Amino acid sequence: MNPLVTPNVGLLIWQVITFLIVLLLLTKFAWKPIMAALRERENNIDEALRMAEKAKLEMQALKSDNERLLAEARAERERILKEASEAATHIVETAKSKASEEGARMVEQARVSIENEKKAALTEVKNMAATLSIDIAQKLIKRELQDEQAQRALVQAYLQETHLS
């Protein structure tokens, strides 16, 4: 057989002894710190997972709170918009009724004013007609009464009219 393929018994024994010494040294000095580091890493990972789960629950609670607050804000906005719309409608209706009342009042005032001015104009026309009639009558009488005969005839006519009435 080929000496490279077949192991030498002496070499094999020394390799086993060296392996056992390295194993003992590793067990005595390195095994405990490696295991402690692995346990610490496992604990850190478990703690991080617990904290992530806690953060996830807190995020869900915050999300539900935010959704609730958002719904409340929407409801409040709708209520405010409804109140503003009702107030605007009320203001418009009030303004319309006031304008209507003011218009009716102004029409009534105009009607009364027109009626008063109509009466005043009629009175003035009557007064002017009376004054004009008196002026015309004076001029006619002056003209007719310039002679004495006409004056006596007129007095006689008036006297006869007063006895008849």
pLDDT digits (tens, 9 = 90+) for 134-155: 877 777 777 666 777 777 777 7
Total number of domains in the chain: 1
66 part of a folded domain: yes
Q: Are 151 and 145 in contact (CB under 8 A)?
A: yes
43 part of a folded domain: yes
> What is the extent of the structural domain holding 31?
9-164
Q: Is the pLDDT of residue 158 over 90?
A: no
Q: Is the pLDDT of residue 160 over 90?
A: no
pLDDT at 119: 92
4 part of a folded domain: no
pLDDT at 9: 85
54 part of a folded domain: yes
Helix (H) or strand (E) run with residue 147 in it: none
Give just the sign of the alpha carbon dihedral 87, 92, 96, 99: positive
152 part of a folded domain: yes
- Mean local confidence (pLDDT), 118-125: 90
Q: What is the 3-state secondary structure (H, E, C) of 46-105?
A: HHHHHHHHHHHHHHHHHHHHHHHHHHHHHHHHHHHHHHHHHHHHHHHHHHHHHHHHHHHH
2 part of a folded domain: no
Q: Is the pLDDT of residue 164 over 90?
A: no
pLDDT at 155: 73
Higher pLDDT pick, 164 / 100: 100
- Mean local confidence (pLDDT), 22-30: 89
Instruction: Enumerate residues 6+ apart whose C-beta is below 8 A from 154.
Output: 141, 144, 145
3 part of a folded domain: no
Considering the chain, what is the average pLDDT of its residues? 87
Count H helices and E strands in the chain, helices first.
3, 0
**Is residue 109 classed exposed, middle or buried when 0-12, 13-18 and 19+ CB atoms within 10 A define those classes?**
exposed
**Which residue has 């850190």 as its token pair?**
44
- Mean local confidence (pLDDT), 65-85: 94
Higher pLDDT pick, 12 / 55: 55
Q: Are 152 and 143 in contact (CB under 8 A)?
A: no
- Mean local confidence (pLDDT), 58-87: 94
134 part of a folded domain: yes
* Confidence grade of residue 28 (pLDDT, cut at 50, 70, 90): confident
Q: Which of 9-13, 126-130, 158-162 holds the top average pLDDT?
A: 9-13
- Length, in residues, of the chain: 165
Q: Is the pLDDT of residue 165 over 50?
A: no
Give 52's Cβ-side CA count (13 Å radius): 6
